[in-house]
Amino acid sequence: MATTLSPSTPLSQDEILRYSRHLIIPEVGVDGQQKLKAARVLTVGAGGLGAPIGLYLAAAGVGTIGIVDFDIVDFSNLQRQVIHGTSDVGRPKLDSARDTILEINPNVKVVGYETKLTSENALEIFKDYDLVVDGTDNFPTRYLVNDACVLSGIPNVYASIFRFEGQAAVLALPDGPCYRCWYPEPPPPGLVPSCAEGGVLGVLPGIMGTIQAMEAIKLILGIGQPLKGRILLFDALQMKFRELKLRKNPECPVCGTQPTVTKLIDYQEFCGLRGVETAPAVSAAGALPEITAKDLKKEIDQGRDLVILDVREPHEFQIGRIPGSTLIPLGDLPKRVNELDPDRDLVVHCKMGGRSAKAVEFLRQSGFQKVRNLQGGILAWSEQVDASVPKY
């Protein structure tokens, strides 16, 4: 790919000084730095992974950095999204990222796309770039980025993170595997980790994002061995890197010898999410009995005999709780269900209502008649009833 880049304008005196530590590496040199200057890299997402990717590509002198993001900077982002600062809270991430990048390196051209990446716009956006760095956080966009890279013939520098663990690979190189060779299908929504298993240590996206930035720069320079045909796994707790083989699947629906996916599809539908975006916990048994936070407060004030069952994890309980609630984490419920009295009124809650919906379903199947789900979980309680319960 590097050889296809057109020679760029010469470096200015200022640039020669700025990039001197690159220029004195034989593998980079003036030619390499000009390749970086001519390179056009698209970062999908300006979040945990996108932050270090943007910072390092900018500092390294990548000439054009495109960013796709339509989100707003939130306080809960700052623990890991180091391209944004406290004064950026409330601003579009795109504006905040652009300002930071230009502060690091005003020679960079930042092209912003304040939109959701979709099947309608992806190919149009991708056509102006040499490679894509995937810093997204959901399955539909992961598959969309992959397929659009394969169809556009540009590499996909991939990484993904979870708590203390990361995965990285360079996908969709002409002779290499793509994401679908690895995972032909996404997990159904019911089997993806919930809030109970969510979260990420802030440094982790920093490590994985800089691995992506390094791979992007190697591809641009055409040096070294790309992370192709293998998956790099990182375990921060063990501080171990492992490598797995990743083969190009000749039967891959996108990059195989007889592809069946030849244009972008509906990725929400592909991931089983069509129609459930607004109701993540869909009950097979129909609508679950629910109660709003305000009504729960009313019932408590009226002195109604209620058991408030909190099915979150103990570390979440520690952050904040509804007074008088009983904690039984969802995973423990089957073996601790006998601690609950089926004759009393039960209101079940979690953080946002997803896990508690599962708990309500389980309890009803276990013979509990008087059980209701707290709509919107403890976040709704915090918003509508008691603001002293912290949001997280």
Partner 1 sequence: MSIKILIPTPLRPFTGRQEEVEVDGRNVGEALEGLITSHPQLRNHLFTADGKLRSFVNVYLNDEDIRYTGLQQTPVKSSDTLAIIPSIAGGCCCCC
β-pair partners for 109: 64
> Which residues 41-100 are close enough to bind partner 1 by CB under 8 A?
45, 47-49, 80
Q: Residue 126 CB, nearest distance to partner 1 (Å)?
A: 20
| Amino acid code (one letter) for 147 | D
Q: Residue 341 CB, nearest distance to partner 1 (Å)?
A: 25
- Examine residue 164 and tell whether it contacts partner 1 (CB under 8 A): yes
Residue number with CB closer to partner 1 (198 or 289)? 198
Q: CA 233, CA 252: separation in Å to the nearest integer?
A: 23
Query: Which candidate in 149, 178, 271, 350 is catalytic?
Result: 350
Number of residues in contact with partner 1, rule: CB under 8 A? 52
Of the candidates 360, 354, 392, the one whose C-alpha atom is nearest the C-alpha of residue 376 is 354
Question: What are the structure tokens assigned to 252, written together?
Answer: 């891959």
Using CB under 8 A, pick the residue from 21, 240, 245, 263 that binds partner 1.
Answer: 245
- Examine residue 206 and tell whether it contacts partner 1 (CB under 8 A): no
Using CB under 8 A, pick the residue from 96, 160, 212, 375 that binds partner 1.
Answer: 160
- Examine residue 142 and tell whether it contacts partner 1 (CB under 8 A): yes
> Which residues 335-364 are close enough to bind partner 1 by CB under 8 A?
350-355
Supply the DSSP string of 176-240, one letter for each residue.
S--HHHH-SSPPPGGGS--GGG--B-THHHHHHHHHHHHHHHHHHHT-S--S-SEEEEEETTTTE
Question: Beta 156-162 vs 165-171: how paired, if at all?
Answer: antiparallel
- Examine residue 226 and tell whether it contacts partner 1 (CB under 8 A): no
Q: How far is CA 208 from CA 181, 313, 359, in A?
A: 21, 27, 35
Site string for partner 1, 122-141 (x = CB under 8 A): -------------xxxxx--
Q: Residue 31 CB, nearest distance to partner 1 (Å)?
A: 36
Q: Residue 332 CB, nearest distance to partner 1 (Å)?
A: 10
How far from chain centre, in Å, is Cα 300? Answer: 39
- Examine residue 191 and tell whether it contacts partner 1 (CB under 8 A): yes
Residue 195 falls in the annotated catalytic set: yes
Of the candidates 155, 148, 159, the one whose C-alpha atom is nearest the C-alpha of residue 171 is 155
Q: CA 92, CA 73: separation in Å to the nearest integer?
A: 6
The gap between the terminal CA atoms of the chain, to the nearest Å, is 44
Burial class of 121 by CB neighbour count within 10 A (0 to 12, 13 to 18, 19+): middle
- Examine residue 370 and tell whether it contacts partner 1 (CB under 8 A): no
Q: Residue 74 CB, nearest distance to partner 1 (Å)?
A: 11
Using CB under 8 A, pick the residue from 127, 242, 298, 304 that binds partner 1.
Answer: 242
Q: Residue 150 CB, nearest distance to partner 1 (Å)?
A: 17
Using CB under 8 A, pick the residue from 78, 89, 192, 265 that binds partner 1.
Answer: 192
Q: CA 234, CA 61: separation in Å to the nearest integer?
A: 27
Helix (H) or strand (E) holding 372: strand 371-374
Other C-beta atoms lying within 10 Å of the C-beta of residue 41: 26
Other C-beta atoms lying within 10 Å of the C-beta of residue 376: 18
Q: What single-letter DSSP state applies at residue 280?
A: S
- Examine residue 319 and tell whether it contacts partner 1 (CB under 8 A): no
Q: Residue 298 CB, nearest distance to partner 1 (Å)?
A: 26
Using CB under 8 A, pick the residue from 71, 99, 165, 345 that binds partner 1.
Answer: 165
Q: Residue 118 CB, nearest distance to partner 1 (Å)?
A: 17
Query: Which candidate in 195, 252, 255, 271 is catalytic?
Result: 195
Residue number with CB closer to partner 1 (25 or 183)? 183
Question: What are the structure tokens assigned to 318, written together?
Answer: 């520690």
Q: Per-residue b/e over 168-194, b at no fewer than 16 CB within 10 Å?
A: bbbbbbeebbbbbbbeeebeebeeeeb
Other C-beta atoms lying within 10 Å of the C-beta of residue 213: 26
Using CB under 8 A, pick the residue from 7, 10, 174, 193 that binds partner 1.
Answer: 193
Residue number with CB closer to partner 1 (55 or 168)? 168
β-pair partners for 72: 92
Residue 149 falls in the annotated catalytic set: no
- Examine residue 275 and tell whether it contacts partner 1 (CB under 8 A): no
Selected range binding partner 1 among 2-10, 199-207, 217-225, 318-326, rule: CB under 8 A: 199-207
- Catalytic positions, please? 195, 350
User: Which residues would be at the binding site for partner 1 (CB under 8 A)?
Assistant: 45, 47-49, 80, 135-139, 142, 160-165, 167, 182-187, 191-200, 205, 231, 233, 242-247, 280-281, 331, 350-355
